[in-house]
Amino acid sequence: MKQIKLAQYKCFLNTPPLWKGQQFGLTQFEFLTTGVSIKDLESIPTNIRLGHQMEVVFLELLKQDDNYKVLLYNTPVKRGKQSIGEIDFIVEESASKKQIHIELTYKFYLIDTNISEPIHQLIGPNRGDMFFTKMEKIKHRQNALLHTSEGIQTLNEYHINHQQIEHQTCYKAQLFTPYGIPEVHIRPLNSDCIIGYWLPFQEFRKAPFTQWKYYMPHKKEWVLTPHLSVKWESHFETLLNVNLRMIKENSPMLWLQKSDGVLEKLFVVWW
C-alpha cells in the first residue's frame, strides 16, 4: 500500500503540464522548487474517485513545500444555501506574498486526428469529455466565480481580496495517440504528455495483440506507470473482460506486456 501511495505522488509529479507557460489565456502553475520529498506524505484515501485522489496529492505536495501557504482548499461558494461552485486552491507565496488561485485538472485524453484543430482533438476515452470544453469552463466559469458577489463574499470571510488574486491552473494530462500513427502534431500542446496509444475493439481482436499479456488497471491505477507486480492475463481472458466493457460503451485502459518484456499503456475504445 505504501508503494502505491509513493507511486501516485511520483507519477503526479512526473506527469508534464498539458502546455507550458501561458496559452489560451491560462497560466500553468509550477512549483518554485522541484526537489519535493514524498517519503512522509499522507496516505491517499482509496474510497474516493481518481480526481479527488489527485487533489489530495496536490494538497500534500503544497503543504510539503515551504514556498507556499495553503489559504483555501475545496471551498464551496454558496448562493443562500445552494452551492454554485467551488474554489479548488488558493495559496500564498511565502517570499512575494502573492496570492494564487489554482484550478487543478488531471486528465486522460485520446488524440482524434480526424479533427483538424489540436485543441479540439483531445477527447476522453468515452468521448464525453473534451479539453476545449474544460478549458473554456475554467476561464469563463471557475475563474470568474471568484469575482461574483458570492465569490467575493466567500473570499472576504478569509480576508482575501479578489482583486489581488492571480489565476493559474495546474493542468496535467496523459495523452494517447491513434495506434499505427507514430507521430502527431499537437502544438501548442505539450507532446511530452504522450505516453501511449488507443485503438478500436476490432483492432484489439487481431494480431499482433493476440500474442501478448494484459492487465486491466482499476481507475485509481490509471495514473501509474505500468509495472510487473500485477496479475497478467492472456489475450483471450482479457478479451472477455474488454468485450463486457464494449457492451456497456466503456473504454478501458490496459497495460500490455510484450514478449520481450516491454510494457505499454493503451485504451481500447467502443466507438
pLDDT for 35-79, tens place per residue?
566 666 767 777 888 999 999 999 999 998 899 999 999 999 999
Q: What is the pLDDT of residues 115-161, one digit of tens each?
A: 989 899 999 999 999 999 999 999 999 999 999 999 999 999 999 99
**Lowest-confidence segment of 48-52, 200-204, 207-211 by average pLDDT:** 48-52
pLDDT value at residue 183: 86
DSSP helix/strand/coil, 17: strand
pTM of the model: 0.94
**Judging by DSSP bridges, how do beta strands 122-123 and 165-178 pair with one another?**
unpaired
Q: What is the pLDDT of residues 92-127, one digit of tens each?
A: 999 999 999 999 999 999 999 999 898 999 999 999
Distance from C-alpha of 105 to C-alpha of 57, rounded to nearest angstrom? 12
What are the Cα distances from residue 226, in Å, to 54, 76, 110, 200, 268? 18, 36, 18, 21, 16
Q: Which residues contact 222 (CB under 8 A, 6 or more apart)?
A: 50, 108, 174, 253
Residue 185 confidence (pLDDT) above 50: yes
Q: Which residues contact 191 (CB under 8 A, 6 or more apart)?
A: 184
- Who wins on pLDDT, 253 or 66? 253
Q: Look up residue 180 and give its three cell numbers.
A: 499505427
